[in-house]
Amino acid sequence: MNSLAYRRRLLGAASVAVAIVFLDRVTKIWAEERLPGDPITVINGLLSFEFAENTGASFGMLRGAGPFLGLAAMVAVVVVALALKSVVRRFEVVALGLIAGGAVGNLVDRFIRGEGLLDGSVVDWIRLPNFPNFNVADSAITIGAVVLVAVALFSRE
């Protein structure tokens, strides 16, 4: 494997991840300061911004499992770094950066918002009907995963 090519992919994915972590952090700070007790309706019946805290994973699963989920996020970042050794397409690099950035974004919340190590709650603030609140980090992980699945399904190699 070409180490220069790997370093370029790593730098590309890290750049995307840093941008996601920054955007996620800024929006969560805004949500925490602006939204508690005063949600904002953006599109009536379709989209609102509403503050929520989540000690588990999506859809209310694994409540209180912050340390486990924090460890899983760290493992995800290592897996992304290893996966970058074998990807060839630029959008795969971006997708892996989205996943890493989302994992780190939620990991930051678990680290800074709890009393113990990784037991903090994650700030969720985007609300759609019949769907749990989510955030920028969650969106990045989902988009990155969808892109990787699409590549796997529709790749012609």
Residues forming the active site: 124, 138
Residue 146: Cβ within 10 Å count: 12
Q: Please answer whether residues 54 and 109 qualify as being in contact, where contact means their C-beta atoms are separated by less than 8 angstroms.
A: no
Q: What is the DSSP string of 70-134?
A: HHHHHHHHHHHHHHTTT--SHHHHHHHHHHHHHHHHHHHHHHHSSSSTT-PPEEEEEE-TTS--B
